[in-house]
Amino acid sequence: MSQKTNIPKGTRDFGPQEMAKRNYIFDTIKEVYALYGFQQIETPAMETLQTLMGKYGEEGDKLLFKVLNSGDFLSKVSDEELQERNSLHLASKLCEKGLRYDLTVPFARYVVMHHDELQFPFKRYQIQPVWRADRPQKGRYREFYQCDADVVGSDSLMNEVELMQIVDTVFTKFGIRVQIKINNRKILSGIAEIIGEDDKIVDITVAIDKLDKIGLENVNAELHEKGISDAAIEKLQPFITLAGTNEEKLQVVAETLASSEIGQKGAEEIKYILQTLKTIGLNNEIEFDLTLARGLNYYTGAIFEVKALDTPMGSITGGGRYDNLTGIFGMPGLSGVGISFGADRIYDVLNTLNLYPQETVSSTKVLFINFGEEEATYCMQVMVKCRQAGIRTEIYPDAAKMKKQMSYANAKQIPFVALVGENEMRENRITLKNMKTGEQQQLTAEELYDKLKS
Amino acid sequence: MSQKTNIPKGTRDFGPQEMAKRNYIFDTIKEVYALYGFQQIETPAMETLQTLMGKYGEEGDKLLFKVLNSGDFLSKVSDEELQERNSLHLASKLCEKGLRYDLTVPFARYVVMHHDELQFPFKRYQIQPVWRADRPQKGRYREFYQCDADVVGSDSLMNEVELMQIVDTVFTKFGIRVQIKINNRKILSGIAEIIGEDDKIVDITVAIDKLDKIGLENVNAELHEKGISDAAIEKLQPFITLAGTNEEKLQVVAETLASSEIGQKGAEEIKYILQTLKTIGLNNEIEFDLTLARGLNYYTGAIFEVKALDTPMGSITGGGRYDNLTGIFGMPGLSGVGISFGADRIYDVLNTLNLYPQETVSSTKVLFINFGEEEATYCMQVMVKCRQAGIRTEIYPDAAKMKKQMSYANAKQIPFVALVGENEMRENRITLKNMKTGEQQQLTAEELYDKLKS
């Protein structure tokens, strides 16, 4: 009997329909990245553990998939080491390689390794799977694609502006209405500086974020609970009650942070980005949001996040500026700014809102029905020209019953079926059936190409 | 100082230029696969070892990359097992997953697992990396892409015909002149049957293959050395001296194999394929070659291989029919026929013959020079429309020295540079410089879009 077949938990097969949709997502993002001068690179699935370890914190190290050394993997392990049964230590003896955990560390490694060949500012994009030994759950997988673009070697805020344009263009192409939220790490640092609570900045932003839901009084109570001094809470009030247009908010922030050099710098950066984007014009709304905090330990300048407006879903895109991409590999001073589209979530949003263009999910345009060897050979000559005209064309490979061939066309959602029997061959005509309307037409080969090409 | 960065041996980074060329190869193959009704699928990089082991022979099992179980991977291993230090046994205790070794076994697993959802005949293509712990050497990597297409669930020879058309179309698109060699496993079985040397068929084809180089006498001597009986060698003579057109060769083979049922069947199959292809017409030559033997233990019908005519290189594409794809997973009776393009070798051939189209390797079409904040903001408004017109457009993000910006354009092989200074802003004009000819033109924004769109 059948050997039980399965795949590792947390991984997925993608069938033809899913792949067509995923390709639509990746191709759209690629096209826009390229329009902005980003170039694609790829790095190997496996990196040395030396490259990967210690880059994602202790928890991250545990989530790395490690690859057993080939050959006699025990040769470097002593009997004592085996008996100790120290998993962490033994893993480092048994394995030298691991699967990449994200695209950022491999990219940093790439930049350091190929530094002399690269032209800076270097604009690269990368769309590849990553692997994490996370506990699988709904929407969280052990293998998933990341779609990253980064510019390294330029401090210019024009890069931030262009990344916002990329977000706007991609989601406009998808037909997904989004809200872009933007903030700046320097502003958050400025606030921490002003109120003298540097280490509580995450607690503070979390509390501020609840204002709409729980009201000012409760926000202040929560801040108090978290151990923030009354004096600090007092100084926080202008930030908590921050409202109005982006310009109005910026005005308040700039005034309130007047005595913080870093805070002022952050406010100026946001101001430049928002003003330039206003001049250029975006289709989607961009909002200065002081409660946006993402990845505090990593980012050093602008940070942004994108949410879909018409369906509840977490952040579907995000990114920001970091001062020191390659410092972890001993090459300091290279700053960068990057963006990452969440392909799996975008996939779900497009499904929920039913936004896939029809041509994305349809594959073959016309199926030729097989009435036997002679007819089939005749058809194949017509099909050569169909394909030369770029028309996706199939013939059912066996002279099976009509019903079977028709149900194949239906299952594959093929919109047209071409029938060439004895009569058609004699008259040099092709009967073309529209599978949706049922309408049939007798066409010459040339008429067929013209009709299907469109 | 800089931490030493490297990647696992036998693996590669692909930079922007290499990726552009590789994408050209993959996109061309994908486009042709789709023209013939093949649909893309993807499977996970990791498969269970149960799926992978025992499918590639003992040698293949050793070349599988195994992934260490997450968490406490020692928990299922006893002290005795540890002390025994049996690598093979311990690997099976420490690892449940491995990296895929090819695309065929995962595809077979996919077909069995998703059997009920699939429409047969099922035409799928798959372009993904595979991993093998082979000793790395020139042209052999531990991570490389395979580009496979297969039809399963149809015995029709029209599938073979279409695969030959696919080969012909792909290499015509590449501009690579090729010779397609075709043979049939059933003919080889027929020969073995006729001469009574079933187990020597590989030795025989290897010897026959040398006829051109070493002459008939030496071929016969080699056959004798290999232990083939004189009577068998006598019977082999018509096959060894087989020459002429495909039709002439087929004639001889059919007559000589008259008493072998399977041999006759093979000859009829080749005849149908070649005759149909003649009616349809190919750009490249296809040759019936009795010495083609590839993968004897795997294929059961037609087999084929493709070689470039204008540069020495091994087989760059191959494939054939197999009777029982999914039998290894307990689902017998599903036959298939498949093809695999060797992307790495095609890459080398295209490089050697310098056949990459110019537009493949160029990325950005126009770079706007940055003269300062005001000018840059002006440019970015023009650039919005460039990008809407599908023109790949960049602006240098910093107001750096002209020389630096120009050398960036040169390094990235950007063909046009746009200059907007004070004068241009006043007159609403853009100066466009052709980087190849040095020619400069003053254009309106609309003229610019028109010129660059082409």
The answer to whether residue B164 is domain-embedded is yes
Count: domains in chain A: 2
User: What tokens were used for B197?
Assistant: 């040397």
For A13, which of B41, B156, B384 is closest by C-beta distance? B41
pLDDT given at position B3: 58
Contacts of B356 (CB under 8 A, 6+ apart): B21, B24, B350
Paired strand residues for A434 = A416
Judge: B398–A46 Cβ closer than 8 Å, yes or no.
no
The answer to whether residue B48 is domain-embedded is no
Judge: A66–B67 Cβ closer than 8 Å, yes or no.
yes
- B324 pLDDT band, cuts 50/70/90, is confident
User: What tokens were used for B300?
Assistant: 């059961």
E strands, B60-195, in order:
66-68, 95-99, 122-131, 143-152, 178-184
Chain A closest-CA separation from residue B265 CA (Å) = 17
Question: For residue B210, what is the DSSP state?
Answer: T
Chain B closest-CA separation from residue A279 CA (Å) = 8
Paired strand residues for A39 = A124
| C-alpha distances out from residue A259 to A256, A264, A272, A388, Å | 8, 8, 20, 69
Chain B contact probe: residue of A23, A48, A52, A67 with most B CBs at under 10 A: A67
Alpha-carbon span A96 to A315, nearest angstrom: 35
- A255 torsion bin: left (phi>0), alpha (psi -120 to 50), beta (else): alpha
CA angle B55, B58, B60 (to 5 degrees): 60
Residues A376 and A337 in one domain: no
Report the relative pairing of strands B95-99 and B66-68 from DSSP bridges. antiparallel
Judge: A36–B393 Cβ closer than 8 Å, yes or no.
yes
Is residue B296 scored above 60 in pLDDT?
no
Residues A379 and A418 in one domain: yes
Looking at B353, B385, B419, the residue that finishes a domain is: B353
Residue type, A2: S
Residue type, B347: Y
Residues B346 and B372 in one domain: no
Paired strand residues for B318 = B305, B340
For B380, which of A3, A280, A393 is closest by C-beta distance? A280
The answer to whether residue A163 is domain-embedded is yes
Query: Do residues B105 and B126 make contact, with C-beta atoms less than 8 angstroms apart?
Result: no
User: What tokens were used for B428?
Assistant: 């609403």
Residue numbers in B near A377 (CB within 8 A): 276, 279-280
Residues B333 and B391 in one domain: no
The answer to whether residue A300 is domain-embedded is yes
Model confidence pLDDT, tens digit, residues A126-169: 999 999 999 988 888 999 999 999 999 999 999 999 999 999 99
pLDDT given at position B4: 75
Query: Do residues A173 and B392 make contact, with C-beta atoms less than 8 angstroms apart?
Result: no
User: What tokens were used for B71?
Assistant: 């968490």
Kindly report the backbone phi and psi dihedral angles of residue B6, in degrees, each rounded to the nearest multiple of 5, phi listed first. -155, 175
For B280, which of A67, A161, A381 is closest by C-beta distance? A381
Residues B307 and B427 in one domain: no
Alpha-carbon span B394 to B391, nearest angstrom: 10
Alpha-carbon span A297 to A107, nearest angstrom: 19
| C-alpha distances out from residue A349 to A12, A31, A170, Å | 19, 20, 14
Residues A373 and A321 in one domain: no
Contacts of B15 (CB under 8 A, 6+ apart): A41, A114, A117
Query: Do residues B350 and B174 make contact, with C-beta atoms less than 8 angstroms apart?
Result: yes
pLDDT given at position A296: 56
Residues A117 and A224 in one domain: yes
pLDDT given at position B1: 38
Taking residues A309-338, report their average pLDDT: 92
E strands, B220-310, in order:
285-288, 302-308
The answer to whether residue B275 is domain-embedded is yes
Alpha-carbon span A348 to A343, nearest angstrom: 9
Paired strand residues for A351 = none
Give me the total of CB pairs closer than 8 Å, taking one residue from chain A and one from chain B.
Answer: 289
Model confidence pLDDT, tens digit, residues A61-106: 999 999 999 988 998 899 888 888 888 889 999 999 999 999 999 9
pLDDT given at position A138: 84
- A295 pLDDT band, cuts 50/70/90, is low
Residues A155 and A106 in one domain: yes
Q: A394: part of which helix (H) or strand (E)?
A: strand A393-395
Q: Which of A310-314, B179-183, B347-351, B396-400 has the lowest mean pLDDT?
A: A310-314
Q: A2, exposed or middle or buried, with CB in 10 Å at 0-12, 13-18, 19+?
A: exposed
pLDDT given at position B97: 97
- A454 pLDDT band, cuts 50/70/90, is confident
Judge: B68–A70 Cβ closer than 8 Å, yes or no.
no
Q: B271: part of which helix (H) or strand (E)?
A: helix B261-280
Chain A closest-CA separation from residue B4 CA (Å) = 8
For A48, which of B6, B63, B87 is closest by C-beta distance? B6
* Helical segments of A257-401, H only: 261-280, 343-352, 358-361, 373-388
Taking residues B323-333, report their average pLDDT: 88
Judge: B8–A48 Cβ closer than 8 Å, yes or no.
yes
Judge: A44–B91 Cβ closer than 8 Å, yes or no.
no
Residues A168 and A290 in one domain: yes
Model confidence pLDDT, tens digit, residues A4-60: 789 999 999 999 999 999 999 999 999 999 999 999 999 999 999 999 999 888 889
The answer to whether residue B347 is domain-embedded is yes
Chain A closest-CA separation from residue B218 CA (Å) = 41
Residue numbers in B near A36 (CB within 8 A): 387, 392-394
Model confidence pLDDT, tens digit, residues B31-40: 999 999 999 9
Residues B233 and B313 in one domain: yes
Contacts of A9 (CB under 8 A, 6+ apart): A136, A142
Is residue A3 scored above 60 in pLDDT?
no
Model confidence pLDDT, tens digit, residues A172-210: 999 999 999 999 999 999 998 999 888 888 888 888 878
Contacts of A34 (CB under 8 A, 6+ apart): B363, B392
Taking residues A294-317, report their average pLDDT: 88
Question: For residue B136, what is the DSSP state?
Answer: P
* Dihedral sign for Cα atoms in the order A107, A112, A117, A122: positive
Model confidence pLDDT, tens digit, residues B157-172: 999 999 999 999 999 9
Judge: A44–B87 Cβ closer than 8 Å, yes or no.
no
CA angle B85, B86, B87 (to 5 degrees): 100
Judge: A6–B48 Cβ closer than 8 Å, yes or no.
yes
Taking residues B161-188, report their average pLDDT: 97
Sheet with A393-395, edge to edge strand ranges: A393-395, A366-368, A416-419, A430-434, A440-443
Nearest to A16 by CA among B158, B416, B88, B41: B41
Chain B closest-CA separation from residue A441 CA (Å) = 23
Query: What SS3 class is residue B306?
Result: strand
Model confidence pLDDT, tens digit, residues B249-282: 999 999 999 999 999 999 999 999 999 999 999 9
Model confidence pLDDT, tens digit, residues B107-154: 999 999 999 999 999 999 999 999 999 998 888 899 999 999 999 999
Q: What percent of chain A has pLDDT over 90?
A: 79
> Which residue shows structure tokens 């406009």?
A172
Binding residues of A for L-histidine: 102-104, 132, 146, 150, 294, 298-299
The answer to whether residue B57 is domain-embedded is no
Is residue A291 scored above 90 in pLDDT?
no
Closest-approach residue (CA) in chain A for B92: A68
Looking at B353, B374, B397, the residue that finishes a domain is: B353
Query: Do residues B233 and B262 make contact, with C-beta atoms less than 8 angstroms apart?
Result: no
The answer to whether residue A32 is domain-embedded is yes
Q: A128: part of which helix (H) or strand (E)?
A: strand A122-131
Model confidence pLDDT, tens digit, residues A233-286: 999 998 888 999 999 999 999 999 999 999 999 999 999 999 999 999 999 999
Kindly report the backbone phi and psi dihedral angles of residue B286, in degrees, each rounded to the nearest multiple of 5, phi listed first. -120, 130
Cα dihedral angle (A110, A113, A114, A116), rounded to 10 degrees?
140
Chain A closest-CA separation from residue B193 CA (Å) = 30
Model confidence pLDDT, tens digit, residues A371-414: 999 999 999 999 999 999 999 999 999 999 999 999 999 999 99
CB atoms within 10 A of CB B52: 24
Report the relative pairing of strands B366-368 and B416-419 from DSSP bridges. parallel
Is residue B146 a known part of a binding site? yes
Q: What percent of chain B has pLDDT over 90?
A: 79
Q: What percent of chain B has pLDDT over 70?
A: 99
* Dihedral sign for Cα atoms in the order A43, A45, A50, A54: positive
Residues A271 and A245 in one domain: yes
Judge: A363–B39 Cβ closer than 8 Å, yes or no.
yes
User: What tokens were used for A7?
Assistant: 């795949």
CATH code at A121? Answer: 3.30.930.10
CB atoms within 10 A of CB B315: 16
CATH code at A399? Answer: 3.40.50.800
- Domain range for A171: 16-43+100-353
Is residue A1 scored above 60 in pLDDT?
no
Residues B288 and B415 in one domain: no
pTM above 0.90, yes or no: yes
Looking at A353, A377, A394, the residue that finishes a domain is: A353
Residue numbers in B near A2 (CB within 8 A): 112, 329-331
